[in-house]
Amino acid sequence: MPRKVVQGPIRDKEKTKQKLLAAVGKILRVKGYAGLKVSKIAAVAGFDKKLIYEYFGSTDKLIDEYIKSQDYWSKFSPNIEEEIQVGKGKEALTQGILTQFESLKKNKELQKIILWELSESKPILKNILKQREEVAANLFENVTDPYFGENATNVRAMLALIAAGVYYLNLFPAYNGTEFCGIDMRTEEGRKEVEKVIVEIIDHYYKTKKAKTEN
């Protein structure tokens, strides 16, 4: 006779962890970051709060893991060797920014996280910002900086403006639902126009800034 498998949080650690992570997302979506308290997370997940400490070490570490699971740039990992030889960072940067532009539109929890980052100073948020910078630095320092030479900082500034625009153009209509510069970001037409310009700007820099360093 086969042995009976007892179900429960102790024997199903991964499932329990996923439920706790999902609880963070639900609270963030409904109550915002102010609602992320250990007792509330445990109640929404349907577990004793001691499991948060047992599986994650602390509430902050649980929230940190949730943020990482939602944050696109934390998972952004282009093939550096390939970019050095072939793409020079252009394809990775373009697709990375376009993907972030689209994912931020769909991910309401990530929108809340970005707003949280803008409104509070907390170690948990500084940690995720540091990780994003480290991901970008790997691509900049090894691929784009050597390629653009003396124009490298200028290219970084251009990418900073585009990335900031990606965040704002998703957050603005999500909370106010109005046009920005006459473009309705709630429509597919408006978003496609922004995507087209992102591609054009990056393409322009790759055509002009490298040429200047070679003259």
The pLDDT-based confidence of 124 (bands split at 50, 70, 90) is confident
Six-digit token string for 9 = 């949080």
Q: Quote the pLDDT of residue 122.
A: 84
pLDDT in tens, 41-60: 999 999 999 999 999 999 99
| Dihedral in degrees, nearest 10, Cα atoms 34, 36, 40, 41 | 160
Mean per-residue pLDDT for 95-114? 90
The pLDDT-based confidence of 3 (bands split at 50, 70, 90) is very low
Say which residue, 174 or 10, is predicted with more confidence. Answer: 174
Predicted confidence (pLDDT) at residue 9 exceeds the cutoff of 60: no
In the chain, the N- to C-terminal Cα span, in Å, equals 81
Q: Quote the pLDDT of residue 1.
A: 47
3-state secondary structure the chain: CCCCCCCCCCCCHHHHHHHHHHHHHHHHHHCCHHHCCHHHHHHHHCCCCHHHHHHHCCHHHHHHHHHHHHCCCCCCCCCHHHHHHHHCCHHHHHHHHHHHHHHHHHCHHHHHHHHHHHHCCCHHHHHHHHHHHHHHHHHHHHHHHHHHHHHHHHHHHHHHHHHHHHHHHHHHHHHCCCCECCECCCCHHHHHHHHHHHHHHHHHHHHHHHHHHHC
Q: How many CA atoms lie within 13 A of 9 on its CB side?
A: 16
In this structure, are residues 36 and 24 in contact, taking their beta carbons and an 8 Å threshold? yes
Q: Using a pLDDT cut of 70, give the percent of the chain over it.
A: 93
pTM of the model: 0.80
In this structure, are residues 120 and 32 in contact, taking their beta carbons and an 8 Å threshold? no
